């Protein structure tokens, strides 16, 4: 776990602001201590997702621990023109970081010292091997051959290991080696040097550059964008730190519009702070975002990227024109030759530009085809702005005004699309776990489920399923994709995530006759879906089968509340399955496939805010009682939950000195538990300090101990200006 009180050494973020990367950080820390499956770990990501910060946080944590492992972080720079230049800096950084760690003095990292000067301040125990290394900085050294010099510098951590110094090497931004000139292949050198050692090390960089690099027995870790919840937490933390006013709606907009990109979220909030600009409405967010696109930090970020890719102005204009045209082009891919014709570049310069465009994920380059990254909203907005101002030469005031208007209109649409996407049950993922399992027919057939099982507790339904005699065998699915990937016109009917196609075989018989295709769609209906709706969707999915030449297919429709009797007749006449959302949830549980779904089937969440005092905790207790009853908790457990909640509310009222006199409550119900979160503003109350509170009248002060006795799990967390208590009660089977 990260210590929130430690100082920043190489990291840029305070530990409490480093959100959504705890799993990855723990993996790196274990790897540093040789707890991984192999000594090599390859960390990759799309641009600007925080890999460098992750490695820097790892460095700080290891430095702070002062254990046996010496952390070493080195990042390639754009200014490194050759492998020799980078290797020289590598050796200087390595010695500086080792000496700073050994002396437990991070200030040494800020000093400007050459290799020979560093040797003079090395601890005596490391003096011998450090002196040997510093010979490489002598002009009279026999290692005057570039290749030998580079190899000697890069081998410094191995020399340290041979002399008892255990070093954890983290090499970052390796994709920048692509720009090195000269005959020495930097990547090949480090592969050869470190793959021979038992020393744990990390290679990090852009995922497309690193793909296919040959490092033996390598573990891989791909850094993903922050989740919606993580991005929202980051926005809240940074807004509080920078003193920027936001609300729940704009917090969510930042998370969605920037697609979980921590750099862009931080950039916008920093700009808001610098301009003393609040972000408490969609209009204000889009106003500042427009400024960023037309000349702010986001524009400068992409300016630097395109300047590196295409140093000549005319080439940049050609590339921007190609990217802008692709935004409105119906064809997803174009031939590489068409790009070379438009840019009019010689082969070497053209293929360098294309490699960099691909590495920076501005395009997707596969074989002889170019695919533009249409889902990257910020990139598309930047390209459109540059195109209209610099290529079309449109009036700036008109361009900015029209763009802001477009962004303001787009914001609520973005959120609406996100909410629908987020509510999708994950048909593609569900189909992907089909593997010849035998299941009750009633799990898929709503007509069998409706009369006898609908409305019963999950435990009772699953018990009935285990004794069910009428069963079917699911196919073995070998490939799944969203329906629009097979038939793009289907995007006119529904969102991408709400329909899927699965290819497979019946009962693992791998013959032409046993090939089967399942085509599934999630449809909207407030009540049981009617006949006309069932007919409409059967027709659309049959069209997909016809256009894709699927001779043997099965249609599966999912409606929230199932299907009416006349709709069931339509489904039966088409040999289709129709299920309710409840059946799908039970199917996932029956197949033991919750991990495959991730967060697709969301927990039931309830939130409320009550004022302190006047016995308002009783209102909260009545609310949680109704919620627990709805989810089939036993009466005894409900009473325990109510008592624990009342005590938590009393504790918040008596000890927080809250400025707003409010208690914030969230009740999250999953299949096997309820999690109650109570938070308040005011004094920060740690678990240890809470236990030290002495009881006074009656049972006051005993509440914290009582909560732990009544609930299965109780956790105290400090927030920026208060305390959060999380209590968990499991649904006993």
Cβ atoms of residues 703 and 651 within 8 Å: yes
Cβ atoms of residues 75 and 203 within 8 Å: no
Does this model's pTM top 0.85? My answer is no
Enumerate residues 6+ apart whose C-beta is below 8 A from 677: 665, 666, 667, 668, 724, 725, 726, 727
Buried b (16+ CB within 10 A) or exposed e, 548-587: eebeebbbbbbbbbbbbeebbebbeebebbbbbbbbbbbb
pLDDT of the residue at 323: 92
Q: How far is Cα 694 from Cα 701, in angstroms, rounded to an integer?
A: 6
Output the six-digit token pair for 420: 């629908």
Cβ neighbourhood burial of 45 (10 Å; 0-12, 13-18, 19+): buried
Among residues 179, 230, 240, 164, which one has the least CA distance to residue 209?
179
Output the CA angle 274-276-282, nearest 5 degrees.
110
pLDDT of the residue at 484: 92
> In which residue ranges of the chain is pLDDT below 70?
1-6, 35-37, 128, 136-144, 210-217, 329-332, 374-375, 595-604, 655-658, 671, 681-703, 718-722, 732-733
Q: What are phi and psi of 706, to 5 degrees?
A: -65, -40
pLDDT of the residue at 197: 82
Cβ atoms of residues 382 and 293 within 8 Å: yes
Enumerate residues 6+ apart whose C-beta is below 8 A from 304: none
Buried b (16+ CB within 10 A) or exposed e, 98-128: bbbbbeeebebeeeeeebeebbebbeeebee
Q: How many CA atoms lie within 13 A of 382 on its CB side?
A: 22
pLDDT of the residue at 354: 92
Output the six-digit token pair for 50: 């925080």
pLDDT digits (tens, 9 = 90+) for 130-181: 777 777 555 445 545 788 888 888 999 998 888 888 999 999 999 999 889 8
Cβ neighbourhood burial of 277 (10 Å; 0-12, 13-18, 19+): middle
Q: How far is Cα 259 from Cα 232, in angstroms, rounded to an integer?
A: 11
- The CB density around residue 175, as the number of other CB atoms within 10 Å, is 22
Please, what are the domains in the chain? 15-223 (3.40.50.300), 228-280 (no CATH), 298-420 (1.10.10), 427-597 (3.40.1340), 604-730 (3.30.565.10)
> Quick one: how many helices (H) and strands (E) in the chain?
31, 20
Among residues 536, 425, 431, which one has the least CA distance to residue 476?
431
Q: How far is Cα 277 from Cα 244, in angstroms, rounded to an integer?
A: 7
Beta strand extents in 483-631 (DSSP E only): 499-505, 515-522, 553-559, 577-580, 604-611
């Amino acid at each position: 776990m990260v210590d929130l009180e430690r100082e920043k050494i190489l990291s840029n973020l305070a530990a409490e602001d480093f959100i959504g990367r705890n799993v990855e950080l723990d993996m790196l820390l274990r790897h540093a201590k040789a707890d991984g499956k192999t000594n090599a770990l390859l960390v990759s990501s799309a641009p600007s997702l925080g890999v460098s910060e992750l490695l820097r946080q790892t460095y700080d944590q290891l430095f702070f621990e002062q254990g046996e492992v010496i952390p070493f972080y080195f990042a390639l720079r754009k200014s490194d023109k050759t492998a020799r230049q980078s290797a020289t800096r590598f050796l200087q950084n390595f010695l500086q970081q080792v000496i700073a760690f050994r002396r437990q003095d991070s200030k040494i990292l800020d000093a400007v010292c050459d290799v020979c000067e560093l040797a003079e301040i090395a601890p005596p125990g490391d003096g011998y091997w450090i002196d040997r290394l510093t010979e490489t900085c002598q002009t009279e050294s026999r290692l005057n051959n570039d290749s030998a010099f580079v190899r000697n510098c890069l081998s410094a951590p191995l020399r340290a290991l041979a002399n008892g110094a255990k070093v954890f090497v983290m090499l970052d931004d390796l994709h920048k080696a692509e720009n090195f000139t000269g005959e020495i292949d930097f990547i090949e050198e480090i592969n050869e040097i470190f793959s021979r050692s038992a020393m744990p090390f990390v290679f990090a960089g852009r995922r497309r550059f690193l793909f296919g690099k040959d490092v033996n027995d390598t573990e891989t870790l791909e850094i993903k964008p922050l989740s919606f919840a993580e991005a929202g937490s980051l926005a809240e933390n940074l807004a509080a730190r920078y003193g920027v006013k936001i609300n729940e709606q704009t917090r969510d907009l930042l998370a969605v519009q920037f697609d979980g990109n921590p750099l862009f979220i931080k950039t916008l909030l920093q700009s808001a702070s610098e301009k003393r600009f609040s972000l408490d409405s969609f209009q204000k967010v889009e106003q500042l975002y427009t400024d960023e696109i037309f000349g702010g930090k986001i524009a400068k970020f992409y300016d630097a990227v395109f300047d590196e890719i295409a140093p000549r102005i005319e080439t940049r204009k050609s590339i921007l024109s190609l990217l802008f045209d692709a935004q409105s082009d119906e064809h997803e891919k174009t031939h590489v030759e068409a790009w070379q014709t438009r840019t009019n570049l010689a082969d070497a310069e053209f293929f360098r530009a294309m490699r960099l465009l691909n590495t920076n994920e501005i395009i997707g380059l596969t074989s002889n085809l170019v695919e533009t990254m249409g889902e990257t909203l910020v990139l598309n907005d930047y390209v459109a702005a540059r195109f209209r101002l610099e290529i079309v030469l449109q009036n700036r005031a008109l361009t900015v005004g029209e763009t802001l208007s477009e962004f303001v209109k787009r914001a609520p649409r973005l959120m609406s699309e996100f909410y629908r996407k987020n509510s999708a049950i994950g048909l593609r993922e569900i189909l992907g776990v089909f593997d010849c399992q035998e299941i009750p027919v009633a799990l898929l057939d709503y007509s069998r489920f409706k009369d006898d099982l609908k409305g019963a507790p999950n435990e009772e339904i699953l018990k009935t399923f285990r004794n069910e005699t009428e069963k079917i065998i699911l196919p073995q699915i070998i490939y799944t994709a969203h329906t629009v990937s097979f038939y793009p016109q289907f995007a006119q009917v529904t969102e991408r995530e709400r329909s899927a196609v699965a290819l497979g075989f019946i009962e693992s018989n791998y013959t032409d006759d046993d090939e089967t295709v399942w085509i599934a769609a999630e449809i909207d209906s407030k009540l049981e879906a009617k006949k006309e709706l069932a007919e409409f969707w059967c027709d659309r999915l049959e069209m997909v089968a016809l256009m894709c030449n699927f001779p043997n297919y099965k249609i599966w429709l999912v409606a929230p509340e199932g299907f009416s009797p006349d709709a069931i007749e339509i489904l039966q006449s088409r040999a289709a399955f129709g299920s309710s959302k409840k059946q799908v949830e039970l199917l996932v549980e029956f197949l033991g496939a919750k991990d495959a779904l991730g967060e697709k089937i969301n927990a039931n969440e309830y939130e409320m805010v009550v004022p302190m005092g006047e016995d308002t905790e009783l209102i909260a207790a009545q609310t949680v009682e109704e919620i627990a009853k709805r989810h089939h908790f036993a009466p005894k457990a409900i009473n325990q939950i109510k008592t624990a909640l009342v005590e938590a509310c009393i504790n918040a009222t008596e000890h927080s000195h809250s400025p707003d006199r409010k208690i914030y409550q969230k009740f999250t119900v999953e299949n096997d538990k309820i999690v109650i979160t109570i938070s308040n503003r005011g004094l920060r109350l740690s678990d240890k300090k809470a236990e030290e509170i002495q009881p006074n009248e009656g049972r006051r002060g005993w509440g914290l101990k009582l909560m732990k006795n009544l609930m299965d799990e109780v956790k105290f967390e400090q927030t920026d200006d208060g305390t959060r208590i999380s209590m968990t009660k499991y649904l006993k089977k």
